[in-house]
Amino acid sequence: MLDEFQIFPWVSPPSYETNDFRYLQMKAAGFNYTSWPIDEGALNKESNLKLLNLCEKHGLKTYLADDRIYEAVHSDNWKALIDEVVEDYKGYPALYAYDIKDEPGADDFSRISEIVSYLKIIDPTRHAYINLFPNYASPNQLNTATYEEYVDRFIQEVKPFVISYDHYHFFKPAEITSETEIKDERQRLIYEASIRRQNRPGYFENIELIRQKSLQYDLPFIFIALLVTHGPYRDLTEAELRWEAFQALAYGAKSICWFTYWNPPPDSVWNFRNAVIDDGVETEHYQEMKRINPQLKLLGDKLFDKKTLKVYHVGEERESSKVNFFQADELIKVASGGNYTLGYFTENYILIANKDFKAPTEVILELTGSQHVYQFDKNTGAETEIELKDNKYILQLSPGDAELIRIGSV
């Protein structure tokens, strides 16, 4: 289980930039956890010890990657490799979890399960982290007939401490040309999907399935959100970044990971650019992270010990017919106005998230009974009772934004 609401980057500064300035810079952007260096060849003891010492110095915890762990997934000598890794890092309190493998197919679950079980024995205070494919991966990638089977098998066989997955929603118009070096099926599927439409469908189906599995197996989930421009994925606005984070929060996510913090190495297919830090320079996304992450952390902390109950959609839903549209319940009689989601949690907490990342939306909630509505300030955490009009709570939400309320008698 997670210890607190985490905001962490997928990949940290490269090993040659692992220094006080860079880690204070990352912390100032609202990250309370971090991960492994971005540069190739840096997933080794020397680089990782420098990372661990800096994290401890600056009050961060980290997900750690080591090439020996990746090798262990496909090696008969896996126990010896894991023993080496644990011995090298056993005295470092900043180590939170070992990264085992990103987006494994089900064919790898057996060995991953062995590694996870072994780590629980020899290093029980640390976790084993595995990030899953999204629901647009092919059966050949999943090694299962359906995505639900893939997720179920992962949880049942691997017995993870958390469910983690990514889903990148925002395309730009893209074409496959003779110069585009498509290397595998995954890359081709992503490019071909981007030609057909600007925003990838399936976001809400994916997160609802993960929400249900989180409840079924009593596991928290991490959502990995798109940030860096690459391949067919467009440069995102602040409203689109907020949309990703706050929709995930409405569905019960207990951690958000931003992909990526630092630009990955040059790649002829993905052409990564404009991450939070691009070639050592803060981009506009750095300032956006400084605005978004503290608010996300505050709301995430408020909801961290609350259980997700249901998510309703209000207004239009252009990309999915499988969402749950609002129905009157014991708290709210009528929900009207624009397009938004209502994420219900225990203790009558509701996160209201704008589904429109281009325009503001109006929220009108007519209460079922004579109750009070309290709204939390995203910047201070202060709870204020809101004056109702004809027993209606009315709110204007900025594009992609969210607000947290509590409905109660006191």
Q: Is residue 252 part of a domain?
A: yes
What percentage of the chain reaches a pLDDT higher than 90? Answer: 88
Give the helix/strand (H/E) hosting 170: none
Q: Is residue 263 part of a domain?
A: yes
CA 301 from centroid of its chain's CA atoms: 15
**Same domain membership, residue 376 and residue 354:** yes
pLDDT score at 312: 98
Cα-only R_g, the chain: 21
- CB-CB contact of 403 with 397 (8 Å): yes
pLDDT score at 139: 97
**How many other CB atoms sit within 10 Å of the CB of residue 150?**
23
Q: Is residue 49 part of a domain?
A: yes
Q: Among 8-17, 188-197, 222-231, 364-373, which stretch is predicted with the lowest mean pLDDT?
A: 188-197
CA distance 57 to 233: 36
**Same domain membership, residue 298 and residue 334:** no
Does residue 207 sit in helix, strand or coil? helix
Residue 93 has pLDDT above 90, yes or no: yes
CA dihedral 176, 177, 178, 179 (to 10 degrees): -100
The model's pLDDT over 122-131, given as tens digits with 9 standing for 90+, comes to 999 999 999 9
**Cis check: omega of the bond before 308, within 30 degrees of 0:** no
**Same domain membership, residue 325 and residue 375:** yes
pLDDT score at 268: 86
Q: Among 240, 272, 303, give the residue marking a domain's end.
A: 303
The model's pLDDT over 285-296, given as tens digits with 9 standing for 90+, comes to 999 999 999 999
At a CB cut-off of 8 Å and minimum separation 6, what does 206 contact?
A: 134, 135, 147, 165, 167
Q: Is residue 1 part of a domain?
A: no
Identify the domain containing residue 331 by its residue range: 308-408
**Same domain membership, residue 186 and residue 72:** yes
Residue written as token pair 């499988």: 322
**Same domain membership, residue 232 and residue 338:** no
**Same domain membership, residue 27 and residue 168:** yes
Number of independent structural domains in the chain: 2
**Same domain membership, residue 244 and residue 313:** no
**Same domain membership, residue 221 and residue 156:** yes
Q: Among 276, 303, 330, give the residue marking a domain's end.
A: 303
**Same domain membership, residue 258 and residue 383:** no
**Six token digits for residue 121:** 């024995």
How confident is the model over 345-374, as a mean pLDDT? 96
pLDDT score at 369: 87
**Same domain membership, residue 317 and residue 294:** no
- Which residues face 255 on adjacent strands? 6, 222
Q: Is residue 296 part of a domain?
A: yes
User: Model pTM?
Assistant: 0.94
**Same domain membership, residue 393 and residue 269:** no
**Same domain membership, residue 182 and residue 232:** yes
List the CATH number of the domain containing 270: 3.20.20.80
DSSP 74-87: T-TTHHHHHHHHHH
pLDDT score at 172: 84
Q: Is residue 159 part of a domain?
A: yes
Q: Is residue 383 part of a domain?
A: yes
List the CATH number of the domain containing 346: 2.60.40
Q: Among 303, 336, 365, give the residue marking a domain's end.
A: 303
Q: Is residue 155 part of a domain?
A: yes
